[in-house]
Amino acid sequence: MKWTPCCLAVVVLFCGCAGKEPAGRTDGQRMKDVHTIAAVIEQYKQKTGRYPYAEHWDNPDPNMVISPVEVLICSRPLPKEYERPPEGLLQAMIKCSDFLEYLRKVLGPDLTLPEDDRDPATWVPYQVRFDKDNYFVGAHLTHANGFTRPVDGAHKYQVGSIGSEAAKVRPYSDIQP
């Protein structure tokens, strides 16, 4: 076979695209994982009347800044930089295992959550963020779709207790079965 510039371009394009989608879960599966995590958070609220970690804002010390609570959900060990919030960002970082234990106290010992299977050194794991009255669950996807926004070279898909068209956050009420 003679390699013409056209054939070579097709080979380069094909090879250039290979490997961009990390092995394991697809973007569609990651979106479903976000929905599953949001559904668990809604179940927690149905049983308790509040979203997880709402007590974080009960009777705050007037001399302290109350910060959001963030959980990163990943099947692999997290790098050290995920143990504390980024410099200048106030938030409480909760380990995935502690979050699961917290939820199991209300939802039962058999509860499991989907976990991001990608290397957290190169991909941001699933994120769950709580503020006083709301939550947001997100995943970084490989490909854009009508529900994502560009973030750090990826495409962030996010569902929350409230939505935002500007930030491309879907309200859970729009995706529940």
Q: What is the pLDDT of residues 106-131, one digit of tens each?
A: 999 999 999 999 988 888 899 999 98
Predicted local distance difference test score (pLDDT) of residue 67: 75
Distance CA 149, CA 169 (A): 9
Report the number of distinct structural domains present in the chain.
1
Whether the full predicted model's pTM is greater than 0.85, yes or no, is: no
CA distances from 48 to 43, 52, 55, 96 (A): 9, 9, 11, 20
Q: Which domain holds residue 70?
A: 25-175
**For residues 64-90, average pLDDT:** 72
Confidence of residue 84 (pLDDT cuts 50, 70, 90): low
- Please give the single-letter amino acid code of residue 117: D
Distance CA 36, CA 112 (A): 10
- Please check whether residue 24 is in contact with residue 123, taking contact to mean a CB–CB distance below 8 angstroms: no
Residues in the chain: 177
Residues contacting residue 165 through CB under 8 Å, at least 6 positions apart: none
pLDDT one-digit tens code per residue, 14-63:
222 333 444 578 999 999 999 999 999 999 999 999 999 998 788 777 77
Predicted local distance difference test score (pLDDT) of residue 176: 64
Distance CA 129, CA 116 (A): 16
Q: Please check whether residue 17 lies inside any domain of the structure.
A: no
Q: Please check whether residue 92 lies inside any domain of the structure.
A: yes
Q: Please check whether residue 5 lies inside any domain of the structure.
A: no
Q: Which of 101, 118, 111, 109 is nearest to 29 (CA)?
A: 118
Q: Please check whether residue 20 lies inside any domain of the structure.
A: no
Q: Please check whether residue 157 lies inside any domain of the structure.
A: yes
Q: Please check whether residue 2 lies inside any domain of the structure.
A: no
Distance CA 6, CA 40 (A): 51
Distance CA 82, CA 165 (A): 28
Q: Please check whether residue 32 lies inside any domain of the structure.
A: yes
**For residues 8-19, average pLDDT:** 29
Distance CA 64, CA 59 (A): 11
Cβ of 169: how many Cβ atoms within 10 Å?
22
Distance CA 39, CA 18 (A): 34
- Please check whether residue 141 is in contact with residue 83, taking contact to mean a CB–CB distance below 8 angstroms: no
Q: Please check whether residue 70 lies inside any domain of the structure.
A: yes
